[in-house]
Structure 1
Amino acid sequence: MTNISNFVQVNGEDFTVNGKKLLFRGFGLGTWMNLEHFMIGLAGTDSMIKQAFADVYGKERSDKFFDRFLLEFVDERDFAYLKSLGVNSLRIAFNYKYFLDDQNPEQYNEQGFVYLDHVVSLCEKYGIYAILDMHCVPGGQNPDWHCDTNSGLPLFWEYSALRDTAIGLWGHIARHYRKNPWVAAYDIVNEPSLVKDAKVFNEFYRKVIAEIRKNDPHHIIFIEGNRFTTDFSMIEPVEDPQVAYEFHFYPFVDEPAVLSPEMDRRRRKEIFKISFDKLLAIRSKYKRPVWCGEFGLDLNPDMIPFQVGIIEDMVEQCEINEVSWALWTYKDSACMGFVYPKEETPWRQLTGRIRQVWNQQEEQAMGEALVDYMANTYFKPISEEFRYPLQFRMRSIMQVICVEQNLKPFLQELPWEEAYRLPESFHFDQCEISEELERMVRKYTLEG
């Protein structure tokens, strides 16, 4: 029988371990087991990027490259540093494709656990809780690139067979980690969006919880809402006592003016409070603890002090309301990362050249503009509401072109021997740390 005294548990509206209240304070580990183009500096979705490497270098070399990337992106030195910061948790994003082949969805690939266990074992060694986040599910749970969709459509919610595949995989993962108290929770699906059928939404959560409980009765399970986890109006309460709720806090999506230095900080804090309070309402609605599983900013080197102030204003909302939080993200290629390769490293040199011809912001703006052009030229003007889902589909087409024109040519210029050494750029001794962000995080993890 498993001794659950050391497991993090739901207790009313709090998380507790050994009877003591716990607030998760930590980071997400993004663009690792699921590559995100703007964070890693390479055009395309996770699968597109890997296919580009295979096309240029061959599948065997591509597999060897990504094996090295996954095992060297973070290591012992990163975790010693995280521990020194006082961080107590890490949200670990992964793509389902590491665990199964779409052509054989009932046959699991144990290689996925080699990479996941690599980080989970370091979490255990350094006393940092791991929260496992399925960032990509079959067919895509939202229309955007970060769930590795190549269609711009959230097909996961359209086909029960896709959902059943994810449900079975979660049972397999839960069986693997059922006795590990340093795996604090399972984050079922990252940022669902454009979910139209409440019955489908709730049935999926009920089924996946039941499948996990067949294998693991103890770990916390996080449920996320619709509209990139900001809308819980569809979500029905569940009886499972170890279910909690997760939202993400990016208030500038609806209020972009908060990113302007012209806005008075007191006014920005007021806007943040209003936005945060709306999300926080789910704690009272469900009578369960909540977790702010993501927040952060694309960092501009010329505006770091100002932007760190914005991030701190977001952290303050969590701290004032005693809400657990995870800053997105710990490490990337100098975009949202707290830690990032130095500018002179080969990775930054490569991605610097790529950014001369491609970046996510331009890709998004072009996607919207092309939808408007198509409508205005060949049809009639369309509303912003109608355009919103269409621009994701347009961008999925653009990403195919960007990979061909803005990724492969740069790889073709790079000899395999140099390409194979690229992951070394992410070694801790090859990275810089944002001193301003470090001071801010320490304020809440060590001094708070």
Structure 2
Amino acid sequence: MQKNFVQVHSQDFVVNGEKIVFRGFGLGSWMNLEHFMIGLPGTDSLIKKTFSEVYGEEKSSLFFDKFLMEFVDEDDFKFLKDLGVNLLRIPFSYKFFLDDQYPDSFKTEGFKYLDHIISLCEKHEIYAILDLHTTPGGQNPDWHCDTASGIPMLWNYGALRDTVIALWGHIAKYYRNNPWVAGYDIVNEPSMVKNAVVFNEFYDKVVSEIRKHDTNHIIFIEGNRFSTDFSMLDPVDDPQVAYTFHFYPFVDEPAVLSPEMKREDRKKIFLTEFERLVSIRDKYNRPVWCGEFGLVLDEESIQLQTEIIEDMLDLCESYDVSWTLWTYKDAACMGIVYPQEDTPWIKLTTKIREEWNQHEEQAKGEQLVDHMAETYFKPISADLRYELQFRMRTIMQVICVEQHLKPFLQLMPWEEAYRLPESFHFNNCTSWDELSLLIKKYTQKA
């Protein structure tokens, strides 16, 4: 085993022969903006394009550099260390490393931002897992992979997959000797993958490319259907491969979020789904990691929501599964840390949310598909409706950016806009005490 590196040993993660269980957070909406979490409509690319249209390319670059360098700081890591966590999952967009017009050459800016966080991880002895959250063409149909079409094009074109394979080789070569990088999460939440041969070949090629440069790090593999379906995946012939699933049981069973549901009934639903997911540990005889779970939080329901997260954490702990909560920090949505109400970012996004929110966007997308089908065509199947509503939402996102983001920026002088990222400084933030106490319940017993 490689000294000081996290390694796979049977169904456990180990460091220098000692078992380690990961407990931590994802750093969501940092190197990949997610509209509902950050409070701005649109995909990552659309949001950045709008800033460029309003303030110009140069000022937009200055703005997002400031955002990336100041979103978390030394005080955040002191807070994380006090919570007792030992892992940070770091999502990033391929666009920090690749220009879509010149896919054969790599950009350097991505390492600037990753190194900023990884150096803090090393200083505070918190491991990092690098998570490719967006890919060329998109690996799933939803906004969080920065799709412009609502179609997961990655699985349709080998040329797109080849750029991802090459990118991971490039990243692995750069981080191959860093033991505080625990591993590489190859692609976040693949979905609508129709071809098992393509899916398995992609992972095999990524593993092979990484191993040309790096034999030290764990490679994490996610399943289909937003990392909840592993039925397509064959075992990978590499001793340092592990598997990661995401646990959002309320997507299929929304009633579990209702205060009317008895806790024991909810826990039974959670248990059934969790056992189905964690069964991949025995299927592949490898360790597993619950890479994402969490809730949209609000003050009026925080007691219930803390209880639901506790039920999820109890499952991870009782089944000896490593975990990362989604997410650490955002604009008062899913983050345990968020800017205070009087900060400029929250004041801006509060106004925007009076006109737009993600849940209405999703509902409208579904309604528009239904209207189109009922008005102009024969009834369509539930499967087709599901796929088409993602495509409809990409059209809506363009409109929402034009009507619900750009006007607010046009009213904001550049000097004010440039200071918006300062709202995320730790000393301008608050946190959920209920969740902090809950996290410590698990980290302090470790």
Q: TM-score, normalized by length of structure 2?
A: 0.99
Aligned to 1:56: 54
**Inter-partner Cα distance in structure 1 for 2:91 and 2:236:** 24
Q: How does 1:184-203 map to 2 (within 5 A)?
A: 184-203=182-201
1:159 is displaced (CA, Å) by 0.3
SS of aligned partner of 1:291: strand
SS of aligned partner of 2:212: helix
Aligned to 1:264: 262
SS of aligned partner of 2:69: helix
SS of aligned partner of 1:131: strand
**Inter-partner Cα distance in structure 2 for 1:186 and 1:112:** 15
Aligned to 1:87: 85
Query: How many equivalent pairs are there?
Result: 446
**Inter-partner Cα distance in structure 2 for 1:283 and 1:447:** 24
1:5 is displaced (CA, Å) by 1.1
**Inter-partner Cα distance in structure 2 for 1:37 and 1:325:** 24
Aligned to 1:351: 349
**Inter-partner Cα distance in structure 2 for 1:446 and 1:214:** 39
1:18 is displaced (CA, Å) by 1.1
1:386 is displaced (CA, Å) by 1.6
1:447 is displaced (CA, Å) by 3.0
Aligned to 1:115: 113
Q: How does 1:14-33 map to 2 (within 5 A)?
A: 14-33=12-31
Is the deviation greater in 300-309 or in 339-348? 300-309
1:301 is displaced (CA, Å) by 1.8
Q: In the alignment, is residue 413 of structure 1 matched against residue 411 of structure 2?
A: yes
**Inter-partner Cα distance in structure 1 for 2:332 and 2:70:** 17
SS of aligned partner of 2:423: helix
Aligned to 1:314: 312
SS of aligned partner of 1:370: helix
- From 375, 382, 385, give the equivalent of 1:384: 382
Q: Which amino acid aligns with 2:19?
A: K
Q: Which amino acid aligns with 2:351?
A: R
**Inter-partner Cα distance in structure 1 for 2:82 and 2:174:** 29
CA shift digits 1:140-180 (9 cap, x unpaired): 00000000001000000000000000100000000010000
Aligned to 1:374: 372
Aligned to 1:136: 134
SS of aligned partner of 2:279: helix
1:260 is displaced (CA, Å) by 0.3
Q: Which amino acid aligns with 1:394?
A: M
1:383 is displaced (CA, Å) by 2.4
1:106 is displaced (CA, Å) by 1.3
Aligned to 1:328: 326
Aligned to 1:154: 152
User: What are the ranges of 5 or more consecutive residues in structure 2 without an aligned counterpart?
Assistant: none
**Inter-partner Cα distance in structure 2 for 1:335 and 1:447:** 28
**Inter-partner Cα distance in structure 2 for 1:344 and 1:302:** 19
CA shift digits 1:346-374 (9 cap, x unpaired): 00000000000000000000000000000
- From 408, 432, 435, give the equivalent of 2:433: 435
Q: Which amino acid aligns with 1:76?
A: E
Q: In the alignment, is residue 69 of structure 1 matched against residue 67 of structure 2?
A: yes
**Inter-partner Cα distance in structure 2 for 1:283 and 1:399:** 38
**Inter-partner Cα distance in structure 2 for 1:438 and 1:238:** 37
Q: How does 1:163-178 map to 2 (within 5 A)?
A: 163-178=161-176
Give me the CA root mean square deviation. Answer: 0.7
Q: Which amino acid aligns with 2:149?
A: S
Q: Which amino acid aligns with 1:173?
A: I
**Inter-partner Cα distance in structure 2 for 1:99 and 1:77:** 28
SS of aligned partner of 2:172: helix
Q: TM-score, normalized by length of structure 1?
A: 0.99
The alignment-based identity, stated in percent, is: 69
Q: Which amino acid aligns with 2:92?
A: F
**Inter-partner Cα distance in structure 2 for 1:76 and 1:175:** 27
Aligned to 1:288: 286
**Inter-partner Cα distance in structure 1 for 2:325 and 2:20:** 17
SS of aligned partner of 1:181: coil
**Inter-partner Cα distance in structure 1 for 2:136 and 2:327:** 24
Aligned to 1:13: 11
SS of aligned partner of 1:31: coil
Q: Which amino acid aligns with 2:364?
A: M
1:394 is displaced (CA, Å) by 0.1
1:202 is displaced (CA, Å) by 0.3
1:72 is displaced (CA, Å) by 0.1
**Inter-partner Cα distance in structure 1 for 2:83 and 2:299:** 22
- From 270, 278, 282, give the equivalent of 2:276: 278
1:226 is displaced (CA, Å) by 0.2
Aligned to 1:222: 220
- From 296, 299, 302, give the equivalent of 2:300: 302
Runs of 4+ in 1 over 6 A off after TM superposition: none
**Inter-partner Cα distance in structure 2 for 1:4 and 1:128:** 18
**Inter-partner Cα distance in structure 1 for 2:336 and 2:189:** 22
Q: Which amino acid aligns with 1:235?
A: L
Q: Which amino acid aligns with 2:58?
A: E
